[in-house]
Homo-oligomer: A and B are copies of this chain.
Amino acid sequence: MTEPLRLGIAGLGTVGTGVVKIVRRKAALLEARAGRPVEIVAVSARNRDKDRGVSLSDYAWEDDPVALAKRDDVDVFVELMGGSDGPAKAATEAALAAGKDVVTANKAMLAHHGTELAQLAEDHQGVLRFEAAVAGGIPVIKALTESLAGNEITRVLGVMNGTCNYILTRMESAGLPYDTVFEEANQLGYLEADPNLDVGGIDAGHKLSLLASIAFGTQVAFDDVQLEGIGCITIEDIRQAADMGYKIKLLGVTQMTGRGLEQRMTPCLVPDTSPLGQLDGGTNMVVIEGDEVGQIVLRGPGAGEGPTASAVMGDIMDIARGLRVSTFGRPAASLAPVTAALGATPAPYYLRMALMDKPGALAKIATVLGEAGISINRMRQYGHIEDAAPVLIVTHKTTRADLDRALEAMSGTGVLANDPVALRIEDV
């Protein structure tokens, strides 16, 4: 195989431009490693005239990404447009239907249509690869799909949204409230156009659903991911957690339980001495646990031109070398339908609430917890704020279902001055 691998790249934002630069600058290195040249033949983007700092004059231009995807001279369609549906999906489907291979960084598209797109790829003997869609430059898809193929995966967890980790780290280090740091992050351009994709956990939830599919051989089931954002986290939560030896992270966790697949993307407390607890700033970390390997920790940049383009290039180089693996590590038709198990695995929880300044308020809360079968590990009431008394409770292990029942009963007591915040304490 010495004929060139011919790429068509759709989407010339930061990542697409990064890929173009690598292919141009490192032609000799890529050829030495792949055993054949890697070339760009055509590109497509919304705005042809924008200066991207790299010459595109050697490549054919297509206004329509679907037309690019179908070109006879394209072997691999590189989809870097983004968006779960619309042109990205249409062009990906067109490429796969034309028997081409596809490399994408599009977590939203795969979270919503991954199983069907994988099937379409297999129907036409193509491969569909997406290393860049999860945790940027960290090779987590390959590790899970290939390196750990001799393991039953028992749990995958991690910090998969650098913006959220930046916000939580910065709140702690600067002692600033959420709203201020959110605004800072916005000014710095760290947030998606729809910030809820970041701080609501949706972007990270997309990624988690893809890891779950590979880890457990299940269909991609993003709709079954339990999603909670970080907007409820206060500086007081971060300080109280630190006092007890924990950090608060937007943590994705997926594991197969006796009742089905658990997928959670929620703020959690993790020990501050654990690798996850020590992860500051915009870095990502994925922890994979397998029955043979034990625990593997992968850490690196989760976003940015270089890291994401590096991951896209890894997939392209695999294809150039003839390395062809099923999208989710086994044939799409064999992926099992998901039975969602929310709240199946028990854990201790951190609860923060404000109680009205009434006699017996705390007793009522304690009673409700006791009646739900939830025992209290620590409880602390501290200085009044206006007419309410902040209360912190750390429970012993309980299921989320029991906890939700207790939280509902609490709201019926008439002593709550706000909605309680409940954060799982994850054993990592």
Contact = CB atoms under 8 A, between A and B. Distances in A.
Interface in A305-332: 306-307, 309-314, 316-318, 321-326, 329-331
Interface in A25-72: 26, 29-30, 32-35
Contacts of A318: 146, 149
Interface of A: 18, 22, 26, 29-30, 32-35, 131, 137-139, 142-143, 146-152, 217, 275, 278, 290-301, 304, 306-307, 309-314, 316-318, 321-326, 329-331, 334
Nearest to A295: B300
Interface of A is mostly: mixed
Contacts of A26: 150, 152
B292 A296 contact: no
25 contacts: A22-B292, A32-B330, A35-B330, A131-B147, A137-B293, A138-B296, A139-B142, A139-B146, A139-B147, A143-B143, A147-B314, A148-B314, A149-B314, A149-B318, A150-B310, A150-B313, A150-B314, A278-B278, A291-B306, A293-B301, A294-B300, A294-B304, A298-B298, A321-B325, A323-B324
Contacts of A310: 148, 150-151, 290, 292-293
Contacts of A313: 149-151, 292
Nearest to A296: B300
Nearest to A22: B150
A300 B299 CA distance: 12
Contact of A297 (B143, B300, B304, B323): B300
Given A278-B278, A298-B297, A323-B325, A150 B292 contact: no
Contact of A323 (B139, B146, B295, B307): B146
A314 to B, nearest CB: 4
A53 to B, nearest CB: 16
Contact of A329 (B18, B33, B294): B33
A296 to B, nearest CB: 4
Contact of A296 (B278, B290, B299, B326): B299
Contacts of A296: 137-139, 298-300
Given A300-B297, A323-B325, A325-B321, A292 B278 contact: no
Given A146-B323, A275-B299, 5 more contacts: A22-B292, A150-B312, A150-B313, A292-B307, A293-B307
Contacts of A331: 35
A32 to B, nearest CB: 5
Contacts of A150: 22, 26, 30, 309-310, 312-314, 316-317
A115 to B, nearest CB: 16
Nearest to A139: B147
A260 B403 CA distance: 62
A337 to B, nearest CB: 15
A146 B317 contact: yes
Given A293-B310, A300-B294, A147 B142 contact: yes
A306 B330 contact: no
7 nearest A-B pairs in the assembled complex, by CB-CB distance: A150-B313, A139-B147, A149-B317, A137-B293, A292-B310, A293-B310, A297-B299
A21 to B, nearest CB: 9
Contacts of A278: 275, 278
A152 B330 CA distance: 31
Contacts of A137: 292-294, 296
Contacts of A323: 146, 323-325
A149 B300 contact: no
A322 to B, nearest CB: 7
